[in-house]
Structure 1
Amino acid sequence: MTTRIGSDAWIDLLVQGADRLGHSLSPDQARQMALHVQLLLEWNQRTNLTAITDPVHVAVKHCLDAIAPLHLLPEEGALLDIGTGGGFPGIPLKIMRPDLDMTLIDSVRKKISFVNHVIRQLRLTRIEALHARAQTLAEQTDRKARYQVVVCRALTDLTTAVSLALPLLAPQGRLIAYQGPNDSSAEGLARDATDLRMIPIETVYYQLPFLDDRRKVSLLQRV
């Protein structure tokens, strides 16, 4: 399937895909995501931001996958995206939830330069992108235990995601970890919940629309 990014067909693909995931995505929000993706592929020619470049695949595997756990976000509070890369899942989540304060971090300066460019182009507010590691951020007094939710999409190791998120999460704060369908690390964490001070709450399985790729997210809470 070939669909030009930003075309009516591409916008409809996003809107219909979001609906299949149980979320309401407006055409205006889809057009914001289209601009994000267009900028991503432009910058990708000189900066390694993504290996996914097919218009349909980038819509589904980046944009729709990013918003799949939208219903798990809190009603209010601050969100931290650890390892945001090209702005996923942080930018699509911000488009869907402009009311939330968001911080996006990555250890690669060029990636954060790109994300800041997207933030300016989309005129997003109450959002910041920082060149930082989670460990360094946690050393800042005003960041420690600040966030109601932390999202991790770049980390496949759930134990690492927990260790990075824990000092940054507010009491009762939640970690949303994007995972492959065969990752069983959440079950192992349940046995070590006392030591980790983080307990598994829920695992949500889903299929990406149109491509039928199987994915899951693990939801854990700080105790």
Structure 2
Amino acid sequence: MKDYFCNLLLKSEISVENDRIDKMTEFLNFLYEKNKVVNLTAIRDKKGMAEKHFVDSLLLTKIIGKDEKKLVDIGTGAGFPGLVLAIYYPEKEFLLVDSVRKKIDFINEVVEKLQLKNVKTSFERAEELINGNRETFDIALCRGVANLRVILEYMIPFVKTGGRFLPQKLNLNELEESENALKILNSSVEDIYKLSLPECGDERIIFGIRKIKKTDTKYPRKTGIPAKKPL
């Protein structure tokens, strides 16, 4: 499996140190076995996991800067992209968040197994977690299907002024309807990165969203409101 993973990295032009590849491979094998008894991901085969979870997460290394030290990943699931990036960047700090307790329990097992010192976890909802964490992160991450204008309200308040939100999306369609949310949250789309997975060829789009100034403290609104009444 390690050879297959290394070949995917080579095709993607992503350089990873050997000891970190070993840790990622161990994480992958553990996910594969655990997924047989606990539903952590819909992808069941190791090759699919390697490409569509691990390499997909590592595409962000083409965008994340050296000086961006503190990252939060909300809705991380079984640790994508945040846990993979935490292995890649041992010098950066990560907070991985998911409201599904079994997924955070799994991540905690991986963190202990791999002896990762740069990862904290939480299963609090973003609306509660924002207390004490407002505007403290250089980068916010979110890889998921939630509508962009909804996730903007949850994510931007965590980001420092001048920091970035890097959502991974499958298409550009949600940008236009998110203009009002971006304006209210004092943010703007600075870059659009178009990348692709090496084997299946699936396109990946990452928006580089810059926070221009502080977010009003009334955001995010109470649980359920952002989805029912998007900005």
TM-score (norm 2): 0.86
Q: Does residue 222 in structure 1 map to residue 214 in structure 2?
A: no
Q: Does residue 68 in structure 1 map to residue 55 in structure 2?
A: no
Deviation at 1:83, TM superposition (A): 0.6
- Secondary structure of the structure 1 residue equivalent to 2:30: helix
Deviation at 1:192, TM superposition (A): 5.3
Deviation at 1:110, TM superposition (A): 0.8
| Aligned pairs for 1:182-197 within 5 A | 182-190=171-179, 193-197=182-186
What do residues 9-32 of structure 1 show as CA deviations (whole Å, max 9, x unaligned)? x22222232233332023322221
Determine the structure 2 residue equivalent to 1:202: 191
Determine the structure 1 residue equivalent to 2:141: 151
Q: Compute the RMSD of aligned alpha carbons.
A: 1.6
For residues 136 and 192 of structure 1, the distance between their equivalents in structure 2, rounded to whole angstroms, comes to 21
Determine the structure 1 residue equivalent to 2:218: none
Match of 1:80 among 54, 72, 77: 72
Deviation at 1:125, TM superposition (A): 0.8
| Aligned pairs for 1:107-186 within 5 A | 107-138=99-130, 140-141=131-132, 143-180=133-170, 182-186=171-175
For residues 83 and 35 of structure 1, the distance between their equivalents in structure 2, rounded to whole angstroms, comes to 22
Deviation at 1:186, TM superposition (A): 2.2
- Secondary structure of the structure 1 residue equivalent to 2:52: helix
For residues 33 and 208 of structure 1, the distance between their equivalents in structure 2, rounded to whole angstroms, comes to 18
For residues 107 and 174 of structure 2, the distance between their equivalents in structure 1, rounded to whole angstroms, comes to 30
Larger displacement relative to structure 2 (112-121 or 46-55): 46-55
- Secondary structure of the structure 2 residue equivalent to 1:215: strand
Q: Does residue 31 in structure 1 map to residue 22 in structure 2?
A: yes
Deviation at 1:191, TM superposition (A): 6.0
- Secondary structure of the structure 1 residue equivalent to 2:150: helix
- Secondary structure of the structure 1 residue equivalent to 2:199: coil
Q: Which runs of 5+ in 1 are unaligned?
A: 1-9
Q: Which runs of 5+ in 2 are unaligned?
A: 213-231
Task: Give the 3 Å change call, closer, same or farther, for CA 123–192 of structure 1 in structure 2.
Answer: closer
What do residues 76-127 of structure 1 show as CA deviations (whole Å, max 9, x unaligned)? 3210000111111111111111110100000011110000000000111121
Deviation at 1:201, TM superposition (A): 1.1
Paired residue type of 2:15? S
Paired residue type of 2:148? L
For residues 115 and 93 of structure 2, the distance between their equivalents in structure 1, rounded to whole angstroms, comes to 14
Paired residue type of 2:2? I
For residues 130 and 193 of structure 1, the distance between their equivalents in structure 2, rounded to whole angstroms, comes to 26
Paired residue type of 2:5? L
Paired residue type of 2:71? L
